[in-house]
């Protein structure tokens, strides 16, 4: 894998943030190790020269204390016969500061640098080390010790040792250490290449797949051969593609269904409008046509309103006009609306109305919309001679509205999806497929639940659970994303309104 890639790629970030940091750390370690190794070898060399010099100075001191010994002659003999002359060059510096004698027998040039001698003269210990180079470029380490007994023509002893061998050894060690670090970096690049590839290549496939999804192609799926985070991402994206594909299919079915639902009343309106133009003298026909047009127009209006509600829910713009209300009034009105229709379809609509139920805190129009949707579905998905039952009761401090039918029912496979947007369990029945989704959201905004139990070929039961007025107000106040306008609902008469209001609030004058 080449590292010459995009500036913001994962490979580049890995090379900079991971490999770059390691290289910098290894480089610092290499430099510090080189300095420490050099310090160790140079310190050892200084210690070596100091030990050798102490032996020489001890002998010189003995010569100085022996009155019968020629001090200067002994020093000359000591230098000329120095046993380590092959390794160390021993020199004697005279009183003029020049080199009087060397163990090699060669007299150095007059301009030889002796900074160690200058340091030793000013040092309290009378000794000093110094590093320098010879005229030939050889690096040396020199050590000078001052000696100045009375009667001596010499003032210092000087040892010089070549550092070239030591420098070569230091270079070899540091070079081996550097090669070791280079091998580590190379190994990191080699192993990192596969690691980065295991991330970058799947991500490239994910990117390509995401672009396919963006243009509406949900047919492909990502291959997943790992159990790590990349594999989990692939599974999630495959799941997303499946859900989007299902949503797209439901959306297409929804568009087709809505188009059909819109075309049917429009066709009736157009047909009767054309008929009325040619039959204006037949009063009965005119009245029938006008009634059909009114009914179909209302049907269109209801469909458009349902679509608008769905759009508001999707955008979070659905507002509730909350108030203390009598749920039985709205439920009873809904049953009254559909009783005549049930008779025309040869169905029975039964309503088990309790004498009294606690008030709820909600939007009466939206809750009535939910009741209408549920009862309409029960009739719509039932055949002739079917029975639809509506019941309301109190259970565990909540109000429960149950709508049951013995119609065609819903399969176990479709039951979890019936509250999903665009979904229609039965494509042969009219409807847009968003009514239950809207109803479920309205009930949820009231702090309640909408549950559906059904069995294919047996029937369906929809249960709406709503909190009573006190619980409902608490839910409404806790929902900060919801805007509500509070108003007091009126009842049939002033006396009934006063009685019901006193039961719910305590003081009608407040």
Q: How far is Cα 272 from Cα 266, in angstroms, rounded to an integer?
A: 10
Q: Do 454 and 410 contact (CB within 8 A), yes or no?
A: yes
- pLDDT digit of tens for each residue in the chain (510 aa)? 444 445 567 777 777 778 888 899 999 999 999 999 999 999 999 999 999 999 888 888 777 666 555 778 888 888 888 888 888 999 988 888 888 888 887 776 666 788 899 899 888 888 999 998 887 888 999 999 998 765 678 889 999 999 999 999 999 999 999 999 999 988 888 888 777 777 777 888 888 888 888 888 878 888 877 777 888 888 888 888 888 888 777 777 667 666 766 777 788 888 888 888 777 677 788 888 888 888 888 878 877 777 777 677 666 777 788 889 999 999 999 999 888 888 888 999 999 988 888 999 998 988 998 998 899 889 988 888 889 999 999 988 899 999 999 888 888 888 887 877 656 655 555 555 677 888 888 899 899 999 999 888 889 999 999 998 876 566 655 554 444 333 333 333 334 433 333 433 333 332
Q: How far is CA 103 from CA 89, 360, 417, 468, in A?
A: 6, 117, 105, 115
Q: Which residues, other chains included, contact 240 with Cβ-Cβ below 8 Å and sequence gap of 6+?
A: 213
pLDDT at 449: 93
Q: Can you say whether residue 237 is alpha, beta or left, with left for phi > 0 and alpha for psi between -120 and 50 degrees?
A: alpha
- The number of CA neighbours under 13 Å toward the Cβ of 381 is 29
Determine how many CB atoms are found less than 10 A away from the CB of residue 144: 27
Q: Which two tokens stand for residue 364?
A: 């009466």
CB atoms within 10 A of CB 331: 24
pTM beyond 0.85: no
Residue among 142, 159, 156, 148 at smallest CA distance from 98: 156
Residue position matching structure tokens 């046993």 = 83
Rounded to an integer, what distance in angstroms lies between the CA atom of residue 499 and that of residue 510? 14
Determine the length of the chain: 510
89: helix, strand or coil = strand
Q: What is the pLDDT, as a whole number, of residue 490?
A: 31
For the chain, the straight-line distance linking the first and the last C-alpha, in angstroms and rounded, comes to 78
> Hunting for tokens 């009087």 — which residue is that?
100
pLDDT at res. 468: 87
| Domains of the chain listed by start with CATH number | 10-103+110-169 (3.30.450.20), 229-310 (1.10.287.130), 318-505 (3.30.565.10)
- Residue 225 has φ and ψ, to the nearest 5°, of -115, 10
Q: What DSSP character marks residue 277?
A: H
b/e code 7-35 from CB counts within 10 Å (16+ = b):
eeeebeebbeeebeeebeebeeebeeebe
Contact 479, 445 (CB under 8 A): yes
d(CA 182, CA 23): 9
């Amino acid at each position: 894998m080449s590292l010459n890639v995009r500036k913001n790629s994962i490979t580049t970030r890995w090379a900079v943030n991971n490999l770059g940091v390691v290289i910098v750390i290894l480089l610092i370690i290499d430099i510090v190790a080189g300095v420490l190794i050099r310090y160790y070898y140079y310190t050892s060399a200084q210690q070596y020269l100091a030990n050798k010099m102490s032996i020489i100075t001890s002998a010189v001191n003995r010569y100085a204390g022996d009155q019968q010994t020629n001090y200067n002659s002994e020093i000359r003999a000591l230098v000329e016969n120095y046993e380590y002359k092959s390794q160390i060059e021993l020199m004697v510096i005279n009183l003029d500061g020049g080199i009087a004698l060397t163990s090699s027998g060669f007299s150095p040039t007059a301009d030889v640098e002796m900074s160690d001698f200058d340091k030793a003269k000013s040092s309290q210990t009378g000794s000093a080390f110094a590093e320098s180079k010879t005229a030939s470029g050889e690096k040396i380490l020199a050590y000078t010790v001052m000696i100045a007994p009375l009667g001596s023509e010499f003032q210092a002893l000087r040892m010089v040792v070549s550092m070239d061998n030591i420098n070569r050894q230091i270079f070899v060690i540091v070079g081996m250490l550097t090669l070791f670090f280079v091998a580590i970096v190379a190994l990191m690049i080699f192993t990192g290449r596969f690691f980065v590839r295991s991330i970058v290549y799947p991500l490239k496939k994910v990117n390509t797949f995401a672009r396919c999804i963006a243009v509406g192609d949900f047919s492909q799926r990502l291959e997943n051969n790992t159990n790590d985070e990349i594999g989990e991402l692939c599974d999630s994206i495959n799941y997303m593609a499946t859900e989007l594909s299902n949503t797209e299919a439901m959306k297409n079915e929804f568009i087709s269904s809505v188009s059909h639902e819109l075309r049917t009343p429009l066709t009736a309106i157009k047909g009767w409008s054309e008929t009325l133009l040619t039959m204006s003298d037949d009063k009965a026909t005119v009245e029938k046509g006008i009634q059909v047009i009114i009914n179909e127009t209302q049907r269109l209006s209801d469909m458009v309103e349902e679509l608008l509600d769905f759009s508001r829910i999707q955008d979070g713009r659905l507002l509730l006009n909350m108030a203390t209300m009598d749920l039985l009034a709205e439920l009873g009105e809904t049953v009254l609306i559909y009783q005549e229709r049930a008779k025309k379809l040869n169905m029975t609509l039964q309503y088990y109305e309790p004498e009294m139920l606690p008030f709820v805190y909600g939007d009466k129009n939206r809750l009535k919309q939910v009741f209408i949707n549920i009862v309409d579905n029960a009739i719509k998905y039932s055949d002739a001679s079917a029975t639809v039952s509506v019941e309301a009761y109190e259970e565990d401090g909540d109000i429960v509205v149950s709508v049951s039918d013995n119609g065609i029912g819903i399969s176990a496979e479709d039951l979890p999806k019936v509250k999903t947007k665009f979904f229609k369990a039965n494509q042969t029945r009219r409807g847009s497929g968003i009514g239950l989704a809207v109803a479920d959201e309205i009930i949820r905004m009231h702090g309640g639940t909408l549950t559906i139990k059904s069995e294919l070929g047996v029937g369906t039961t929809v249960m709406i659970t709503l909190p009573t007025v006190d619980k409902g107000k608490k839910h409404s106040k806790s929902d900060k994303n919801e805007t509500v306008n509070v108003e007091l609902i009126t009842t049939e008469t002033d006396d009934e309104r006063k009685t019901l209001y006193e039961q719910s609030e305590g003081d009608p004058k407040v």
